[in-house]
Amino acid sequence: MKHDHLIPNPPIDLESFWNSITRECFKKDLDFSIAKSERVTEDHDIFEFKFKDILNKDKYGWIAVPKNIGSLDSVGAFLWLNPYGRWSTPPNSYTTRPGHISMSFNFHGEGPFHFEKYSPEKGYFTDGIQSEHTFVFKYFYQDAVLAGRILEQYPGVDSSRIGVMGLSQGGGMSIWMASFCPFISYCCADLPFFIGLNYILGHRFYRYPIKEIPDYLEKHGLNKKDVLKVLNYFDTLNIAIYNTKPVQLSLGLKDPACKPEAIRALYNHITSKKNLIEYLGGHDYDTLMIKNNYDWIKSCI
């Protein structure tokens, strides 16, 4: 089936926009602190860090360092970006890998191990949506670049082997970082979001959290054209055409949120080294992601 809305349609200044907001992250002086965490895992020493984000607000995260890494070792590392919501994904088998230092942080200023269930009342899909310069995901991306800069200079990290990984929101943003953040060398994007927003918003039925957008349009008496001018700057399908880094994508064959046909279209428009994995489930983690993403990491570095 042909989907006319699943074709890249980037704003004429998309590339310059993303290059500009990335440069802002490298002009900003890093302001952060790191301390040993009371949290422990079987295979990793856990550290907590605090940093000033792009708006000079405090953000919090964790760093997981494999216990078998020697003080003189130089190892690969990756930044794990959280799915949609206000919680923090903890160090676990999805967010760590053997022989690699990994990092994650909370986008909302909550603690590094914060947990709360999603509710539409606390959704943020439309925060700052009036302009690409104020949209919440612009700031999220910039904060991720700042966190990545901290990871880049963390002791023992080989700066030539830094990747980015995530699921859903984190998967889409991983592609954004791979496309425009210079120190990222590979990407694992599981069930990535924000693909073909014309297509997404053209559906009659929605589910939360994406339903926050049509709710916003109805509340303010707008139509989708009013917000697509902004959202097109953040459409992962538009961004991915600028990517040159190795990317592994995955989709869920029963995924009602990030639809298989959208992710296949995204895959078809990526011109760098790439791989696509199809899982049988819906919009959720699959234990096979643990091994499959680790295999991809090893093939890229």
Cβ within 8 Å of residue 117, ≥6 positions away = none
Question: Higher model confidence: residue 144 or residue 257?
Answer: 144
Query: Between the CA of residue 210 and those of 55, 113, 148, 169, 207, what are the distances in Å?
Result: 26, 25, 27, 11, 6
Report residue 34's pLDDT band, with 50, 70 and 90 as the boundaries. very high
Whether pLDDT at 203 is above 90:
no
Question: Higher model confidence: residue 239 or residue 208?
Answer: 239
Which of 1.10.569.10, 3.40.50.1820, 3.20.20.70, 3.40.50.410 is the CATH number of 14-300?
Answer: 3.40.50.1820
Mean pLDDT over residues 96-101, rounded? 96
φ, ψ of residue 102 in degrees (nearest 5):
-130, 160
> d(Cα 63, Cα 105) in Å, to the nearest integer?
9
**Model confidence, pTM:** 0.96
Question: Taking all residues of the chain, what is their mean pLDDT, rounded to a whole number?
Answer: 95
Mean pLDDT over residues 122-126, rounded? 96
CB 144 within 8 A of CB 173: yes
Nearest 5 degrees, angle CA 6-CA 244-CA 185?
A: 125
> d(Cα 197, Cα 135) in Å, to the nearest integer?
15
- The domain locations on the chain are 14-300
Helix axes 14-27, 169-180, angle to 10 degrees: 90
User: Which range has the worst mean pLDDT, 13-17, 182-186, 214-218?
Assistant: 214-218
Quote the pLDDT of residue 1.
45
> d(Cα 61, Cα 89) in Å, to the nearest integer?
10
> d(Cα 227, Cα 192) in Å, to the nearest integer?
21
Whether pLDDT at 156 is above 50:
yes
Mean pLDDT over residues 266-272, rounded? 97
Quote the pLDDT of residue 301.
81
DSSP 296: H
- Cα–Cα nearest to 201, from 175, 219, 227: 227
Query: Between the CA of residue 234 and those of 84, 136, 228, what are the distances in Å?
Result: 15, 11, 10
